[in-house]
Amino acid sequence: MTEETVSGDQRLLELRNRIDSIDGDIARLISERANCALAVAAVKKATGGDALYYRPEREAQVLRRAMERNSGPLTDEEMARLFREIMSACLALEEPVKVAYLGPEGTFTQQAALKHFGNSAQSRPLAVIDEVFREVEAGAVNYGVVPVENSTEGVINHTLDNFMTSNLYICGEVELRIHHHLMISDVTRADAITRIYSHAQSLAQCRKWLDAHYPNVERVAVASNADAAVRVKGEWNAAAIAGDMAAELYGLKILSEKIEDRPDNSTRFLIIGTQEVPASGDDKTSLMVSMRNEPGALHNLLEPFRRFGVDLTRVETRPSQSGNWNYVFFIDFVGHRDTKNIASALREVGVCASDVKVLGSYPRGVL
């Protein structure tokens, strides 16, 4: 053995001892933090009423602080993800949060739910978006997670339409980079694929790639990407387009990775619940406005936002369910409804609109 390897081994031993000692400190501090969270729970319980254990605005602040004080070498996102899990475990001590999402298991919505609430949340897949709204309204779960818009394919109308009849609030948002893969099962003959299953949105997001690589293969739209993954398990001539979670969950082999046409392809999801969220310091507000059908209506609606310096991030139009040629506008903007300029803008919008509903003010997505 050379002198160099001896000193290398010695150095490794020293470093590992140091890591063991740091781990001991981290474990002690995590336990101390968890005890604090339990004490917080006791305070919340003592205040009585409908004790809200999960506090979106506070969690957003904790995550932002974790990113701000990070000095590397881990990235800010990686650091925040670690804190996300610590908080998730601490909250589960107070009361595990119950979350319904648009399933089945293995969908991007499940991934979004985990990203937002962490792995200690109890999550339940539901078959359709309406059902997610209904279960939250009925109190069977605390929160729901539904997709609302994709950067390539646009808005998910079904989610917006549900807000027309629901009294739920938006309590948060999550953005997820969406990577699609072409996957097959162990019975598939990769050179004999004649059919590709996926959700219609995913097929659309991979349209150019499919045109280039599988121009003559039948594209079959199914209820979800996870559903597509299940189908290929029994078909020797079929492949599925889905994400990492589905490949892992259903034991499929990835044939081609990241086949989405746009590399920045991402989907935004909403967290829906029964609670109004106080300001976190960096918030957004979503609004639903019904307009009388008259000339200049849209201009009148948007003008107060300009005058009060409110930064609009999205304006979406849907036909109203109450009558022909009436429209409902879904408007997102930066800021919390309790802020002075926003409250003023909202008051004025109320004058020109036939109906205004604030769907919620919520922390801007951190992770």
Ligand X SMILES: C=C(O[C@@H]1C=C(C(=O)O)C=C[C@H]1O)C(=O)O
Q: Could you list the residues that contact ligand X (CB under 6 A)?
A: 37, 40, 53-55, 58-59, 62, 87, 90-91, 94
- Helix/strand/coil percent split, the chain, to 5: 45, 25, 30
Rounded to whole angstroms, how far apart are CA atoms 52 and 4?
59
State the CB neighbour count (10 A cutoff) for residue 49: 7
Q: How far is the CB of 59 from ligand X (least distance, A)?
A: 5
SS3 of residue 286 by DSSP: strand
Q: Provide the minimum distance between the beta carbon of 24 and ligand X in the complex, in angstroms, as a whole number.
A: 21
State the nearest-atom distance from the C-beta of 26 to ligand X, in Å: 16
Residue 58 or 318 with smaller CB distance to ligand X = 58
Residue 90 vs 141, nearer CB to ligand X: 90
Nearer to ligand X, 76 or 261 (CB): 76
Extract the tokens encoding 307.
Answer: 């005058």
CB of 145 to ligand X, least distance (A): 16
State which residue, 90 or 270, has the beta carbon closest to ligand X: 90
CB of 89 to ligand X, least distance (A): 8
Which one, 103 or 363, has the nearer CB to ligand X? 363
Min separation Cβ 80 and ligand X, Å: 13
Q: How many CB atoms within 10 Å of residue 186?
A: 9
What single-letter amino acid sits at 245?
A: M
Residue 148: helix, strand or coil by DSSP?
Answer: strand
Closer CB to ligand X, residue 120 or residue 344?
Answer: 120
Residue 70 dihedral angles phi and psi, to the nearest 5°: -65, 130
Chain center to CA of 269: 4
Q: Is the Cβ–Cβ distance between 68 and 91 less than 8 Å? A: no
Look at residue 223 and give its three-state secondary structure: coil
The C-alpha atoms of residue 361 and residue 56 are separated, in whole angstroms, by: 11
Q: Tokens 């470093």, residue? A: 15
Q: Which is nearer to ligand X, 37 or 164 (CB)?
A: 37
Contact predicate 220/235, CB 8 Å: no
What's the closest the beta carbon of residue 135 comes to ligand X, in angstroms?
Answer: 21
